[in-house]
Amino acid sequence: MAEIQEIFGSLVFDDRVMRERLPKETYEILKKTISVGKPIDKSIADVVASSMKDWAVELGATHYTHWFQPLTGITAEKHDSFISPVSDGSVILEFSGKELVQGESDASSFPSGGLRNTFEARGYTAWDPTSYAFIKEGVLCIPTAFYSYGGEALDKKTPLLRSMEALNVQVLRVLKLFGKDVKRATSTVGAEQEYFLVERDMFDARKDLIFTGRTLIGAKPPKGQEMDDHYFGSLKPRVSAFMKDLDEELWKLGVTAKTEHNEGAPAQHELAPIYETTNIAADHNQLTMEVMQKVAHKHDLVCLLHEKPFAGVNGSGKHNNWSIATDTGKNLFNPGSSPMDNAQFLTFLAAVIKAVDEYQELLRICVATAGNDHRLGAAEAPPAIVSMFLGEDLEAVLDAIITDDENYIHKGKEEFNVGVSVLPRISKDATDRNRTSPFAFTGNKFEFRMVGASDSISDANVVLNTIVAESLRQFADRLEVADNFEEELHTLIKETITKHKRIIFSGNSYSKEWEKEAEKRGLYNLKTTADALTHFVSDKNIELFARHGIFTEVEMRSRHDILLEIYNKTVRIEARTIIDMIKQDVVPASLYYVKDLSEIAANKKELGISVTLETKLIKKISDLAAKAYSAVEKLEADRLKLKKIDDNEKASFFNKDVILKDMAVIREYADELEKIVAKDYWPYPTYADLLFGVK
Ligand code: ADP
Ligand code: MG
């Protein structure tokens, strides 16, 4: 392998390259633009574009694209070559500032939820200069936002950038009250990515994996993950070759891939990058998912990013580690050591506690997909109930604040009187122990674990940034007019924690007892996407997003509709696939086996040998096949009913209550069949093949 330093970022038009290649003045202007997160100054666009093109061409690029993130959740690109004809019939390579800064694309085939009428099918893309351009497979990719003619966001980046700005504004207000001279605050994110690797030929032999990304049928293998021997276990040679290659490809793109290891389930792995500014972390996570799949392909493997590829086996998520950093190099969730720093830390902590409690449903909604429903609440992943884990040390501090515990709280006159005189050292160990919590404080950041493996992390961070901005806004409104800042702050923190402590839970979040307890506490338990999405466009949420300039009501309604549609479509494809599998493969395979068993039985009878076993098997398999077939017929009938429902929301409930349940019944019969039909006859690789197949 080449020197890591040499390859890292070698395909990125980053600060290093800009400083080297741009005229000094242009570089300074651009740099300033980037640091304050503003759109690029038109006056320098041509120079930047031309320099970018020269650099890209030197590295073998022939095309450029505005790389964007439509609401499908995956990235989109349309390639244009740099060539431009000149009068003598030859071509020159060109890339103008205009082409860099703005693009126009026929966007009618991307979901818009009614925002973009077909007569106004144009969508526009605009460069996000805070995220560096890069080269991917000979194409210069410009990270862009995507919006409609009317300026409505049609993508995941636009609201993310808006939410980062909203958070910045409110954080600065609060920091100012603490006398801090901070010019910019940004949320930071490190997204740990889980995935499965399976052999490509086995993947290709399963329609369910091909069409839906998850297995719709499949009996449990004799060995699952009960031995816990996979987690952090040594890597199989093919996997380690894949990871090495993956790291190298990601490094070239400037993605800070840091840690690679096996995860809980067999064939499951994880990649953790080093955290970055949120919008870059989001771009990089998209790239990571894309590169993972491409590199896997090269190794004759397939990388599964579905949240629950295998029933009964750990699902895959993304741990979204989130914090707030300032331009002065401080992490606002670092408890600090002086009483003043402690008070500031407690203020931001209280803001997060309030935000998570008041907007629990939004945290559930931003991770709500058909795939993630199989993971959340499946007794081994984060539950569908949102709660927070803070660790013993912090909980003790909060308790002391609520009860005015004199031993704990320093109430001296001379010293800053908020919170505790000195916070106890928050040991990372104490905060990282609870792996069952959906939202855990891990020493100096929050780990939101409900995000699905295939999700864009943008939605989750739009919500996190916005709800925390809202808490901070309310805090600032109150503190800015306080006569005595210290006293008011103390009261504010005490009140906030007292009011929202119901969201804090340190026990086992997977347990049945917690479900009951959470209900008592009045917490939401939104088990499915259908249940969650109904809460999205409530007055409260519309007001929240509008106030901070993240979404207009129109944008929210369109997004709501798109989310419902994606859910319904996902279930529709799954239903069609399982019908096909049972009718085309499972039932025929079972019948062929029955036919051969019957032949054996007939032969044995002629010889006067007992056919009890054959008869038993024939009866059992015939019976199960018939039941599976009837269950498919029921699903088909229900699909006809579903087609008559023309409201997306009603359809989502029908999918959840009827279609998915029909599929579960079919699956039971199919899995029973799989267990007794001879392996040679079974049409698909089994769970054992898939999970233990990669050597
Ligand atoms: P652990 O192994 O305990 O989960 P790590 O230190 O390995 O903790 O971090 C896990 C992820 O959290 C990494 O992606 C890391 O970069 C990220 N992370 C660490 N500090 C921050 C922070 N201040 N803001 C956002 N993410 C962070
Ligand atoms: Mg983690």
Give the number of other Cβ atoms within 10 Å of residue 589's Cβ. Answer: 20
Domain boundary pick from 120, 154, 188: 154
Residue with tokens 């020493």: 443
Residue with tokens 């949320």: 187
- Reply yes or no on whether the pLDDT at 192 is more than 80: yes
What is each CA distance from 463 to 29, 159, 160, 362, 468, in whole angstroms? 32, 10, 9, 7, 8
Atom of ligand 1 nearest to the CA of 322: 25
Q: What are the residues whose beta carbons fall under 8 Å from the beta carbon of 455, sequence distance 6 or more?
A: 73, 318, 367, 369, 372
Rg of the chain taking only CA atoms, in angstroms: 28
Instruction: Determine which residue's CA is closest to atom 6 belonging to ligand 1.
Output: 274
Q: Do residues 176 and 134 both lie within one domain?
A: no
**Residue 554 Cβ contacting ligand 1 at under 6 Å:** no
| Residues 462 and 160 sit within 8 Å (Cβ to Cβ) | yes
Q: Which two tokens stand for residue 655?
A: 């999918």
| Residues 317 and 270 sit within 8 Å (Cβ to Cβ) | no
Separation of 581 CA from ligand 1 center, angstroms? Answer: 42
Residue 672 lies in a domain: yes
What angle, 0 to 180 degrees and rounded to 10, lies between the N-to-C axes of helices 24-36 and 42-58? 100
Q: Tell me the best of 167, 192, 321 to mutate to test the pocket of ligand 1, counting ligand atoms within 8 Å of each CB and taking the most.
A: 321
Give the number of other Cβ atoms within 10 Å of residue 487's Cβ. Answer: 12
**Residue 503 Cβ contacting ligand 1 at under 6 Å:** no
Q: Which two tokens stand for residue 23?
A: 């005229």
| Residues 265 and 229 sit within 8 Å (Cβ to Cβ) | no
Query: How many residues are listed for the chain in this entry?
Result: 695
Average pLDDT over residues 669-690: 97
| Residues 493 and 419 sit within 8 Å (Cβ to Cβ) | yes
Range of the domain at 609: 567-692
Domain tally, the chain: 3
**Residue 277 Cβ contacting ligand 1 at under 6 Å:** no
SS3 category, 333: coil
| Residues 475 and 351 sit within 8 Å (Cβ to Cβ) | yes
Nearest partner of 287 among 60, 78, 49, 69, judged by Cα:
69
Separation of 429 CA from ligand 1 center, angstroms? Answer: 14
**Residue 273 Cβ contacting ligand 1 at under 6 Å:** yes
Look up the CATH number of the domain holding residue 590. Answer: 1.20.120.1560
Separation of 418 CA from ligand 1 center, angstroms? Answer: 29
Q: Do residues 171 and 126 both lie within one domain?
A: no
Q: Do residues 126 and 172 both lie within one domain?
A: no
- Asked which of 143-147, 282-286, 346-350, 633-637 is least confident by mean pLDDT, the reply is 143-147
Domain boundary pick from 103, 125, 154: 154
Atom of ligand 1 nearest to the CA of 275: 16
| Residues 530 and 455 sit within 8 Å (Cβ to Cβ) | no
Look up the CATH number of the domain holding residue 301. Answer: 3.30.590.10
pLDDT bracket for residue 428 (50, 70, 90): low
Q: Do residues 129 and 62 both lie within one domain?
A: yes
HSE (side-chain half, CA atoms, 13 Å) at 471? 24
| Residues 541 and 362 sit within 8 Å (Cβ to Cβ) | yes
Q: Tell me the best of 275, 280, 324, 446 to mutate to test the pocket of ligand 1, counting ligand atoms within 8 Å of each CB and taking the most.
A: 275
Q: What is the pLDDT of residue 426?
A: 57
Q: What are the residues whose beta carbons fall under 8 Å from the beta carbon of 176, sequence distance 6 or more?
A: 182
Average pLDDT over residues 470-477: 98
| Residues 339 and 421 sit within 8 Å (Cβ to Cβ) | yes
Average pLDDT over residues 317-328: 97
**Residue 598 Cβ contacting ligand 1 at under 6 Å:** no
Rounded Cα distance between 241 and 251, Å, is: 16
In this structure, what are the phi and psi dihedrals at residue 303, rounded to the nearest 5 degrees? Answer: -95, 120
Separation of 259 CA from ligand 1 center, angstroms? Answer: 11
| Residues 380 and 386 sit within 8 Å (Cβ to Cβ) | no
Tell me the residues surrounding ligand 2 (ion) with CB < 5 Å.
Answer: 319
Q: What is the pLDDT of residue 149?
A: 81
pLDDT bracket for residue 74 (50, 70, 90): confident
Residue 557 lies in a domain: no
Q: Which two tokens stand for residue 315?
A: 């699902």
Nearest partner of 168 among 553, 445, 550, 559, judged by Cα:
550
Q: Do residues 520 and 442 both lie within one domain?
A: yes
Nearest ligand for residue 285 CA: 1
Q: Do residues 78 and 205 both lie within one domain?
A: no
Separation of 340 CA from ligand 1 center, angstroms? Answer: 25
Instruction: Determine which residue's CA is closest to atom 11 belonging to ligand 1.
Output: 190
Instruction: Determine which residue's CA is closest to atom 19 belonging to ligand 1.
Output: 275
Helix (H) or strand (E) holding 259, with range, is strand 257-262
pLDDT in tens, 582-632: 999 999 999 999 999 999 999 999 999 999 999 999 999 999 999 999 999
Q: Which two tokens stand for residue 103?
A: 């693009």
Instruction: Spell out the alpha helix ranges (H) of 78-131.
Output: 97-101
Percent of the chain with pLDDT over 70: 92
Q: Do residues 182 and 313 both lie within one domain?
A: yes
| Residues 85 and 91 sit within 8 Å (Cβ to Cβ) | yes
Q: Do residues 331 and 283 both lie within one domain?
A: yes
Q: Do residues 640 and 663 both lie within one domain?
A: yes
Q: What is the pLDDT of residue 413?
A: 38
Residue 558 lies in a domain: no
For residue 193, give the amino acid letter. Answer: Q
Q: Tell me the best of 255, 437, 445, 448 to mutate to test the pocket of ligand 1, counting ligand atoms within 8 Å of each CB and taking the most.
A: 445
Nearest ligand for residue 334 CA: 1
Separation of 275 CA from ligand 1 center, angstroms? Answer: 6
Q: Which two tokens stand for residue 229?
A: 């021997």
Residue 542 lies in a domain: yes
Q: Do residues 131 and 178 both lie within one domain?
A: no
Nearest ligand for residue 270 CA: 2
Look up the CATH number of the domain holding residue 26. Answer: 3.10.20.70
| Residues 71 and 156 sit within 8 Å (Cβ to Cβ) | yes
Judge residue 677's burial from the number of C-beta atoms within 10 Å of its C-beta, 0-12 exposed, 13-18 middle, 19 or more buried.
Answer: buried
Rounded Cα distance between 472 and 179, Å, is: 16
Residue 619 lies in a domain: yes
- Reply yes or no on whether the pLDDT at 119 is more than 60: no
| Residues 105 and 66 sit within 8 Å (Cβ to Cβ) | yes
pLDDT bracket for residue 231 (50, 70, 90): low
**Residue 285 Cβ contacting ligand 1 at under 6 Å:** no
Separation of 190 CA from ligand 1 center, angstroms? Answer: 6
Q: What is the pLDDT of residue 487?
A: 87
**Residue 445 Cβ contacting ligand 1 at under 6 Å:** yes
Instruction: Determine which residue's CA is closest to atom 8 belonging to ligand 1.
Output: 442
Domain boundary pick from 154, 186, 204: 154
Residue 631 lies in a domain: yes
| Residues 260 and 266 sit within 8 Å (Cβ to Cβ) | no
Residue 195 lies in a domain: yes
Residue 561 lies in a domain: no
Atom of ligand 1 nearest to the CA of 432: 3
What is each CA distance from 83 to 62, 94, 460, in whole angstroms? 8, 6, 40
Q: Do residues 622 and 584 both lie within one domain?
A: yes
Nearest ligand for residue 275 CA: 1
Nearest ligand for residue 263 CA: 2
Atom of ligand 1 nearest to the CA of 331: 23
Q: Do residues 308 and 181 both lie within one domain?
A: yes
